[in-house]
Amino acid sequence: MKAGGIAADPRCAKPLDRAVIFLGPPGAGKGTQAKELAHKFGVPHLSTGDMLRENISQNTPLGQLAKPIMARGELVPDSLVLKMVAERIEKPDCWHGFVFDGFPRTVAQAQYLGVLLAQHGYKPPLVIHLAIDPALVLRRITGRRTCKADGEIYNIYDRPPKVEGICDADGGQLDQRPDDREEIVAPRLRAYEKQTAPLVAYYKRLGRLHSVDASQSVPDVKRRIDEIVCGAA
Ligand code: AP5
């Protein structure tokens, strides 16, 4: 671990120097919050979903394997995801810490991550659990639209762009993810309950878990996350 990155926000003046993990069901707001937090601390936002989608759009061998699995709303096998993550956190921009979004997602991934972080000399991770009633996420998921160019996340119901289908920031086209169709939401939620929800107990046992009520507004959730992360940095 090298010297830490400096946060721009005065309330978070200390460096991050660790991994922050966002845990929560599809549509809980992991991407929305992880991106902001990473920006605040000047560290990479590592979304395994985005990394896999990038592989799909570039038609890499990993993308070819992941595409049908993601289209069904199932998890990509641990071995593929772990290799991708291990390679990514070797890069120098991760030396000051990073924010995971959607990783780890199984107990095996969490165990491997623990070993990897210790090997690289990081402090134990901070885990933010975005807790939300699954009944609330359907509207968030089916309403989500993402800018093709800069990845900005909108919602046609709750956070619409000024012009339909167009990103406010850069005029890019807004797309709907193939797995955000209503019929794929149920299998994604089932995969979360079966394979990822056990991580709540796993990280609680390790004393790393901070639960946040993710049914609140985006600014309210963000405020709570800032309190947790800035208090621990
Ligand atoms: P991934 O891309 O990680 O998707 P996900 O976990 O299903 O989560 P989402 O991106 O749907 O939701 P989010 O919590 O990020 O919410 P967001 O902030 O966008 O994974 C996709 C697939 O890739 C998986 O199914 C799997 O196949 C594969 N995969 C990825 N990682 C893997 C791994 N580690 N292992 C194996 N397979 C893996 O917000 C959603 C919407 O809600 C937006 O419109 C937003 O504007 C809105 N919103 C956000 N917060 C609020 C709020 N507080 N109030 C109102 N609206 C809000």
- Please say if the pLDDT value at position 3 is more than 50: no
- Joined together, the tokens standing for residue 133 give 């009633």
CA 31 / ligand 1 centre spacing (Å): 6
Section 155-159 average pLDDT: 92
Closest atom of ligand 1 to CA, residue 144: 44
Pick from 211, 151, 21, 24: which is nearest to 99 by CA? Answer: 21
Section 213-219 average pLDDT: 96
- Please say if the pLDDT value at position 225 is more than 70: yes
- Please say if the pLDDT value at position 227 is more than 90: yes
User: The whole model's pTM is what?
Assistant: 0.92
Establish whether residue 177 lines the binding site of ligand 1, counting it when its CB lies within 6 angstroms of any ligand atom. no
Establish whether residue 188 lines the binding site of ligand 1, counting it when its CB lies within 6 angstroms of any ligand atom. yes
- Please say if the pLDDT value at position 173 is more than 60: yes
Is-contact 111 119, C-beta < 8 A? no
Would you please indicate which residues are annotated as catalytic (active-site) residues?
30, 105, 144, 177, 188
Establish whether residue 151 lines the binding site of ligand 1, counting it when its CB lies within 6 angstroms of any ligand atom. no
Q: Please give the share of the chain, as a percent, with pLDDT higher than 90.
A: 84
Query: In this predicted model, what pLDDT tens digit does every residue of 92-136 receive, in sequence order?
Result: 999 889 999 999 999 999 999 999 999 988 889 999 999 999 888
pLDDT of residue 4: 47
CA 144 / ligand 1 centre spacing (Å): 10
Is-contact 103 81, C-beta < 8 A? yes
- Please say if the pLDDT value at position 2 is more than 90: no
Closest atom of ligand 1 to CA, residue 220: 53
CA 27 / ligand 1 centre spacing (Å): 5
Is-contact 1 89, C-beta < 8 A? no
Establish whether residue 221 lines the binding site of ligand 1, counting it when its CB lies within 6 angstroms of any ligand atom. yes
